[in-house]
Chain A
Amino acid sequence: MWIRDIAKDIKERRVSGIIWQHEADPLHNKKEDLERAKELLVQALGEEWVTDDPTILIGYSRDQSPFPSHYPHLVVMPDSTEEVAEVYKIANQCKVDVIPMGTGLTTMALHIPMYGGIIMDLRRMDRILEVNGDDLYMVIQPGVNYLAAQVEAQRVKARVLNPSTAATAGVISNHAFCNINTLASKFGFGIDNIIDVTMVLPDGSIMKTGPASYGAVKAQVPGPGPDLSSMFRYAFGTLGTVTEMTLRLYPEQEYIYQIYPAYEKDDLTRVIDVLYAVANENLTLELAHMQNSFFGIFVGSTNKEACAIAKSMPRNNFFTIFSGTTMEEAKLKADLVERLILEMEPEFDFLPPEVMEDLVSDLRSANLDRWQKYFNVTVRVMRVRGSFLIGALIGHLDNFLEVEKRMRESTSNQIGHTDDPLPPDDASTYLQPYHMGRSAYMEYDLYTNQGDKDEVMRTFPAYMRVMMEAMIGEGLVLACGAIPLLKGMPAPLPKGLENADNLMPLLQPNAAVFADVFTEVKKAVDPNNIAARRWDYETGLCKKMSLI
């Protein structure tokens, strides 16, 4: 064979030689309907902002999860609430699914169009419509990301509760999904920041909530009457798309001071006690617990360096930042917390700032002074092996003690050890108190190589096992709306119990009431089931799941 033919030969031998094809759908996304939808969308949004070109579609086919690519049939970029409404109207007319997309960073393939349809990329709507530092709010469109929002907020001496994710993450879509952040102990997260929204419902009608409902002053509190502003949160696009949101801002005091409490022992018992106490004090602006591996990853500029740092750092570390109108105030708060910690547990250490500064001296992205402005480096967790499987749980801090132990045991059993300081079985844990420690978020990251199917196959079952153990064994909940994610999930059970809807009342009656109401609301606002279709109305089943 001629050498030049080898490449051709390999290409022809490949199994996947075509664009990922969606299974023919009897109801939605039919070829002729898609063609008509495209025509109408072009009329509504202009040719530039509607496409079915595979080269564009591929950009929306995957995220960091190990899910295989699923292409949308069309991608559109509306520029206004009215255009979003048009998209929904056309989708209804043509029975084509619509999934709104902010940035697609959910780690769970939530915006990936499992059934195809239209991806509505909202990033053209990227205007900050108003920012008010005195009254602590900002009105934004869904294309506004944390990068722009935080800078704008700080300009007016305020700040947004930025999650530890890519700064380019959309603020509204992050509020649709999580917004876990290191300020959660003091200020809260997600739901706590939504003052009002303008939302396009799946039938194309528009709903304005809160102060926006009658153009009132953005007065921080919900109303009038029932608070509808967070209805989109954990709805995953099933109830429509938010096109404008008033985001609560928080005061930013002038001075910042940081201390580095650390606890050498690999035991969370005392760590949790101390974390409760510090959260109760409510003196920290930012507060989180992080295992050494996290610190290593954030601070090391390569995996090798990360491993070395992780090894040299104490096992448990607190991320504690204090603020004040004077340095005296910030330092006094830090001092009081330091004394409290030592009183409770003399074995806690405080790393000298010079050590930390030294660790990060070569880095741009982990400049300590700037961490409080934007703790952006978490995205590094994906560097370890390409992507990560995230165990995101909510519970009382106390309950995490047992959970963490069991999770670690079962990951080790499932994946096995290596002597790598960041071994695949040793997930990094991080505890994030919420509202002064009343509840907390626990993140448990397993690193896996998205590009290596063997590794995915090894890590994924471990992930599923630890999550099931935590959720069923320990009764913890996912830090995101589990019900829409589980709804319609097929269960390998006898007739009558073949999906999670039927199972739910048996497992958890409380969930069933909520799930019923959710189903009814969904059917009422979206009779054609075009908005982020997750399950079929007729069968109650979903064929594919993006949940991992």
Chain B
Amino acid sequence: MKKRITAPREVLHELQADYSICTKCKICQGVHVQFCPDARFWRNCPAGTRYRWDAYYASGKMEIARGLHVNEIEPNERMAHIVYSCMLCSSCQEQCYEVKQLHPTRVFELLREKAVQDGWGPMPEHKKLLEAMEEYDNPWELPKKKRGEWAKGLPLKNLKKEKAETLFFAGCTYAADKELRNAVRSAALCLVEGGMDVGTLGAEELCCGAPALLVGDRDLFETFAFENIEVFNQLGVKTIVAPCSHCAWVFKEEYSREINQEIKVMQISEALYHLVAKEKKLVPEKEVRMKAVFHDPCKLGRRFDLYKQPRAVLEAIPGLELMEFYRATFNSLCCGGGGGVPYAFPDFALWTAKERLFEAEATGAEAIITSCPYCVQMFKKAIGEKKSEMKVYDLAEIVLLSLGKEV
């Protein structure tokens, strides 16, 4: 049993002022209208688009929250489906906040926490992940000794043994999925090439806790957060770089309350932006000939406004023609990998990824570049399924290619 912390936390009913005045204006059911260049691509909410009933959109889930609050409805299987098929992609919030200043996605996160507390969440498939987290310290049942394997042969320090300025926090998915190995190694290598003093936690790295938080198990999340924060604070690092957008999300948003304030957290695209576009410590010289679109991971773009950074990196790559999705930046459509949906509802997740892939194809791009392991995984699945010619890259892979290096 892990050690738990009982920090004061937000609960659903504190957001009553949000969900009881959700006016069903349904602004949240489409992309920002003034930035929609093609009528085929006006939809923004994967869950609503797939299941169609209002309850699957933000407007409906706000009503569910209200119904639960006033005890008008009881949780049931359908409610669990609705609550857990939300990608937590924040696209609804992006639209709603702009005009109404409500926080629907936050309501849905707390709705999940309520579901877990009241015993009707998470979904059985999620429970398996959580059990794995308890047992293996990661959701993918990756044995501890294999955790650091991804870094084999790379010039990275072991922070358990020596000091370094930067902690490269690979995250469970990058560590476990062999298909992502090139991406994570590229990310680490780019930092080294950029002259950064980089170390890892190797086999000692723990899950950031994001999967637990996503499915509403805040208790479990906090045990991981607690341990990680303790470790981070002791390492003496100045910077933490996470290639995974979910790790970066919880570090920035959740850990930041407790983490040593001197430590700067960056997602890899921010780090690359500094190295390539700002400080010019990395100079991409080799041509990477391709027409590519950048897919904004939800936890990166809408969560932290990190839109221009990855684009600035890509613009510096010779030969690369950067295109845009019809739904780009704040209008970006989720890849299907958000909110823990792929584990509970893999078909729906894949359906969403295929929608996004269709959009990428419609732009005429040859490749999708992104900066999140879930996005890459989802696109790979969709490409396989659709037998598409589209290629998928992690941002760091492209940077490394253009440096003329290999991992």
Tell me the A residues contacting B by CB distance below 8 Å: 11, 14, 16-20, 51, 53-56, 58-64, 69, 75, 77, 103-105, 121, 123-124, 128, 145-152, 155, 166-169, 301-303, 363-365, 367, 370, 373-374, 376-377, 379-380, 382-383, 386-387, 449-451
Bound-complex Cα distance A316 to B57 (A): 38
Interchain nearest-CB distance for B15 vs A (Å): 11
Contacts A55-B76, A147-B39 known; list 11 others, CB within 8 Å: A14-B71, A55-B78, A58-B60, A62-B63, A63-B24, A121-B54, A148-B42, A373-B34, A377-B99, A382-B100, A383-B101
In contact, A167 and B54 (Cβ under 8 angstroms)? no
Among candidates A55, A147, A303, residue contacting B64 with C-beta atoms closer than 8 Å: A55
In contact, A75 and B24 (Cβ under 8 angstroms)? no
Among candidates B23, B37, B39, residue contacting A387 with C-beta atoms closer than 8 Å: B23
In contact, B52 and A123 (Cβ under 8 angstroms)? yes
Bound-complex Cα distance A469 to B35 (A): 42
Tell me if B142 counts as interface (CB < 8 A to partner A): no
Tell me if B247 counts as interface (CB < 8 A to partner A): no
Interchain nearest-CB distance for B346 vs A (Å): 18
- Segment of B25-33, B181-189, B267-275 in the binding face: B25-33
In contact, A380 and B34 (Cβ under 8 angstroms)? no
Q: A61-B63, A123-B52, A376-B33 are in contact. Are A56 and B21 (CB under 8 A)?
A: no
Bin the interface of chain B by size.
35 or more
Interchain nearest-CB distance for A215 vs B (Å): 25
In the complex, which residues of chain A have a beta carbon less than 8 angstroms from the beta carbon of B76?
53-55
Tell me the B residues contacting A by CB distance below 8 Å: 16-17, 20-21, 23-27, 29-39, 42, 52-55, 57, 59-60, 63-64, 67, 70-74, 76, 78-79, 82, 98-101, 330
In contact, B79 and A450 (Cβ under 8 angstroms)? no
Interchain nearest-CB distance for A57 vs B (Å): 8
Among candidates A18, A55, A121, A168, residue contacting B79 with C-beta atoms closer than 8 Å: A55
In the complex, which residues of chain A have a beta carbon less than 8 angstroms from the beta carbon of B34?
364-365, 367, 370, 373-374, 376
Among candidates A59, A146, A147, A302, residue contacting B54 with C-beta atoms closer than 8 Å: A59
In contact, B99 and A365 (Cβ under 8 angstroms)? yes
In contact, A147 and B23 (Cβ under 8 angstroms)? no
In contact, B36 and A151 (Cβ under 8 angstroms)? yes
Bound-complex Cα distance A387 to B60 (A): 17
Residue on A nearest B98 in the bound complex, by CB:
A365
In the complex, which residues of chain A have a beta carbon less than 8 angstroms from the beta carbon of B35?
364
Bound-complex Cα distance A75 to B67 (A): 18
Residue on A nearest B59 in the bound complex, by CB:
A59
Bound-complex Cα distance A379 to B17 (A): 18
Q: A56-B55, A121-B53, A145-B30 are in contact. Are A152 and B39 (CB under 8 A)?
A: yes
In the complex, which residues of chain A have a beta carbon less than 8 angstroms from the beta carbon of B21?
386-387, 449-451
In the complex, which residues of chain A have a beta carbon less than 8 angstroms from the beta carbon of B23?
63-64, 382, 386-387, 450
Interchain nearest-CB distance for A386 vs B (Å): 3
Q: A58-B72, A151-B38 are in contact. Are A103 and B79 (CB under 8 A)?
A: no
Residue on B nearest A151 in the bound complex, by CB:
B39
In the complex, which residues of chain A have a beta carbon less than 8 angstroms from the beta carbon of B55?
55-56, 58-59
Q: A104-B24, A145-B42, A450-B21 are in contact. Are A20 and B36 (CB under 8 A)?
A: no
In the complex, which residues of chain B have a beta carbon less than 8 angstroms from the beta carbon of A451?
16-17, 20-21
In the complex, which residues of chain B have a beta carbon less than 8 angstroms from the beta carbon of A150?
33
Among candidates A56, A151, A380, residue contacting B78 with C-beta atoms closer than 8 Å: A56
Q: A16-B72, A451-B17 are in contact. Are A379 and B25 (CB under 8 A)?
A: yes
In contact, B100 and A168 (Cβ under 8 angstroms)? no
Interchain nearest-CB distance for B330 vs A (Å): 7
The contact sample of 12 A-B pairs, CB cut-off 8 A, is A58-B60, A59-B60, A61-B63, A62-B63, A77-B53, A103-B26, A145-B30, A147-B39, A151-B42, A152-B39, A303-B101, A365-B32
In the complex, which residues of chain A have a beta carbon less than 8 angstroms from the beta carbon of B25?
64, 105, 166, 379, 382
Interchain nearest-CB distance for B197 vs A (Å): 38
Interchain nearest-CB distance for A1 vs B (Å): 19
Residue on A nearest B23 in the bound complex, by CB:
A64
Interchain nearest-CB distance for B28 vs A (Å): 8
In contact, A59 and B36 (Cβ under 8 angstroms)? no
In contact, B72 and A20 (Cβ under 8 angstroms)? yes
In contact, B71 and A17 (Cβ under 8 angstroms)? yes
Bound-complex Cα distance A308 to B310 (A): 36
Residue on A nearest B94 in the bound complex, by CB:
A364
Bound-complex Cα distance A394 to B31 (A): 33
Q: A169-B26, A376-B33 are in contact. Are A58 and B53 (CB under 8 A)?
A: no
Interchain nearest-CB distance for B29 vs A (Å): 5
In the complex, which residues of chain A have a beta carbon less than 8 angstroms from the beta carbon of B99?
365, 376-377, 379-380, 383
In the complex, which residues of chain B have a beta carbon less than 8 angstroms from the beta carbon of A60?
54
Bound-complex Cα distance A450 to B21 (A): 6
Bound-complex Cα distance A383 to B17 (A): 12
